[in-house]
Amino acid sequence: MVTRLLRLAGAALMVALIAVAGGGLVVALDHPATDSARPELTARGDAAFRRAATPLRASLDELAMLTDGLARAGREASFALRDLDHATVRARLDGGEAGLASAILAAERVRSVNDQLVAEVAGARLSAGSSAALIAVADMTNAVVALAGHQALVASAAGSAADVLGDLQAHDELVFEATEAAREERYGAAAGSLDEAGDLLAPILAERDAADARLAPTLDDWLLRATDYDAALRRLYHLLDASGGTPTAGSGAAAADVELAQAALPADGSALVVIASELAEPDLTEGLVGIEGIRGSIAEAVLALD
């Protein structure tokens, strides 16, 4: 009896050992050893990768610097547009165009150097870190292709809005010159300044009448009020010029019309800020966000190479 019990206990122990061993085998098969856990298998490939990655890192640093400058120029153009500084908008956009040309050349250098790196490590066993770096650089080179398109959005949106703002501001300056000339009883010169002001608005009005004009209700309202005021002033100045400055019933009625039209004008420049936004958005923000996204891809690639 004792012998039989000992045999049964031994058999049970053997079954338990087999089960444990089998479980360990399943776990081992479920989680096979990876190259990242076996650095001796990837040492040669990683060494080749590090050698080839040195010039790539230098090219990436150059591209990162140029893209940072491009993003900064776009942001500053956006800020200047909000401040109604159309001259600065133009200056920053011109700088951005020059920066874009340099960034495109730098991106081509990165792609060329990266192609050489890929060729040098082709077939080599790489660690997870080196493989991830290759993927990050590949993703970045694909993303950079869109850089020119994003910059084009920024330039078109901010540039067209700045052009309109510049004309509106120049119009207001000419109207002010007209009123100053009228105070000096130079009514012919005053009417001439108003004609120049009208010439500035004419192409904007024509564009607003186009079927595909961007929705800009604040601009449309501004133009309506401004042209009404200009027309009222022009009638008054023509009448006063014809009478030699002597008030008449006609000039008195015209002066009343001027007062009504003037009261309808915007009280300050806040309408121009809204107009800038109407004309530039959402394209301006879309372009800026796109450039920032590419900056992020470049930063990830640089980090992966560190």
Neighbours of 84 (CB within 10 A): 19
pLDDT band, very low/low/confident/very high, at 211 (cuts 50, 70, 90) = confident
- Predicted TM-score (pTM) of this structure: 0.79
pLDDT-wise least confident of 7-11, 62-66, 157-161, 221-225: 7-11
Q: Is 38 left (phi over 0), alpha (psi -120 to 50) or beta?
A: beta
What pLDDT digit, counting tens, does each position of 240-296 carry?
999 999 999 999 999 999 999 999 999 888 999 999 999 999 999 999 999 999 999
What pLDDT digit, counting tens, does each position of 185-198 carry?
999 999 999 999 99
The DSSP secondary-structure symbol of 244 reads T
Domain definitions of the chain by residue range: 39-154+286-305, 162-282
Average pLDDT score over the chain: 87
Neighbours of 104 (CB within 10 A): 16
| Three-class secondary structure assignment of 245-276 | CCCCHHHHHHHHHHHHHHHCCCCCCHHHHHHH
Cα atoms in the Cβ-side hemisphere of radius 13 Å centred on 233: 29
Look at 5 and 300; give whichever has higher pLDDT.
300
What pLDDT digit, counting tens, does each position of 93-117 carry?
999 999 999 999 999 999 999 899 8
Percent of the chain with pLDDT over 90: 70
Per-residue pLDDT at 11: 44
CATH architecture assigned to 39-154+286-305: Up-down Bundle (1.20)
87 and 94 Cβ atoms separated by less than 8 Å: no
Question: Which residues, in sequence order, are CB contacts of 103 under 8 Å at separation 6+?
Answer: 63, 66, 67, 70, 144, 147
pLDDT average, residue stretch 166-190: 97
Distance CA 95, CA 99 (A): 6
Q: Evaluate if residue 150 carries a pLDDT over 60.
A: yes
Q: Evaluate if residue 7 carries a pLDDT over 60.
A: no
Question: Which residues, in sequence order, are CB contacts of 74 under 8 Å at separation 6+?
Answer: 92, 96, 151, 154, 158, 287, 288, 291
